[in-house]
Amino acid sequence: MGTVKSHVEGNTLVVERSFNAPRELVFEAFSTPAHLEAWWGPAGWKTEIRTFEFEPGGTWHYGMTCVDLEQGDAFGMESWGKATYLEIVHHSRIVYVDAFADEAGNVNPDFPVMTITNEFLDIPGGTLLVSRSEFTDAEALKQVVEMGAVEGFSSQLDRLDAIVSR
């Protein structure tokens, strides 16, 4: 288990990762602030959650800071995000709009906004996460992929795996 697979379908980036853990536990890791702060963000980054309203129409505002000296120029960098939940089906699906933001929660219009659908599926021995990030156009998708989104998300999922597969 644990290999990240990704591919593109039109304007959608699809990332799949299996976990040796029950679906309820993997879902919980996405739906509880304390769990999210423990694994969200690439390796070497610390996440702080400012707002977390896990309900349709609710907001999730978070910041990530690079705390790893080994990452050179990235050390001390901050990245803020703001999500608005659209749909939540407990233990099986979370849909939200995700945007780059600032510390105050203002969305940055220079970066793409994406609609993310995370599905949690039962598989033998665990859970398959299928994450679909839908962009307005191919250019926006390309911009985020070139920023290292697949590698960053893959690194996050490794951190999540270390927690849920214990």
pLDDT band at 150 (very low <50, low <70, confident <90, very high): confident
* Percent with pLDDT over 70 in the chain: 99
pLDDT tens digit sequence for 91-118 = 999 999 999 999 999 999 988 899 999 9
Residues 6+ apart with CB under 8 A from 141: 8, 11, 12, 13, 112, 133, 135
Polymer length in residues for the chain: 166
Checking if the pLDDT of 166 tops 90, the result is no
User: What domains can you pick out in the chain, each with its CATH number?
Assistant: 5-164 (3.30.530.20)
pLDDT tens digit sequence for 38-77 = 999 888 999 999 999 999 999 999 999 999 889 888 898 9
